[in-house]
Amino acid sequence: MEREALEKRVVELETQLLRASVQRTPTAAELRNQAIHDRVLAATTGIAPVIMTMDTYTLWWVSQWVEWRKTRIAEIGDPAVAAHVRSYKDWVRATGAKAAAGMGGGSVPQTPQ
């Protein structure tokens, strides 16, 4: 009898957790990260197919420009921006946004047109 009551309680708690996860309101950070992501996808539309056509030397040179730009941004040293970037990177990993864009698969990554 006690076992049945315990099993019933476990089912009730699991149901509550499931309902809470479905009905959860996104946090401010999640909303900010989604807005950043939408803006980034819009700004990079068409870049992935172009990158896929580049040879190794060209990709290396593009990466040099990207690293140079990241260094210039880091020199500004705004801690709030650094925290937001870390939050966004963590959010991208947690939501599977890279995989959703096609990174890691055998096909060309996609960005919305």
105 or 58, greater pLDDT? 58
Q: Which residue type, as a one-letter code, is found at position 65? A: W
User: What per-residue confidence (pLDDT) applies to 82?
Assistant: 83
Least confident of 3-7, 17-21, 92-96, 105-109: 105-109
CA atoms of 64 and 58, how far apart (whole Å): 10
CA atoms of 35 and 26, how far apart (whole Å): 12
On the question of pLDDT at 5 being above 70, the answer is yes
Render 26-90 in DSSP notation, one character per residue.
PPHHHHHHHHHHHHHHHHTTTHHHHHHH--HHHHHHHHHHHHHHHHHHHHH--HHHHHHHHHHHH
Domains in the chain: boundaries: 30-100
Q: How confident is the model at residue 34 (pLDDT cuts 50, 70, 90)?
A: very high
CB atoms within 10 A of CB 74: 12
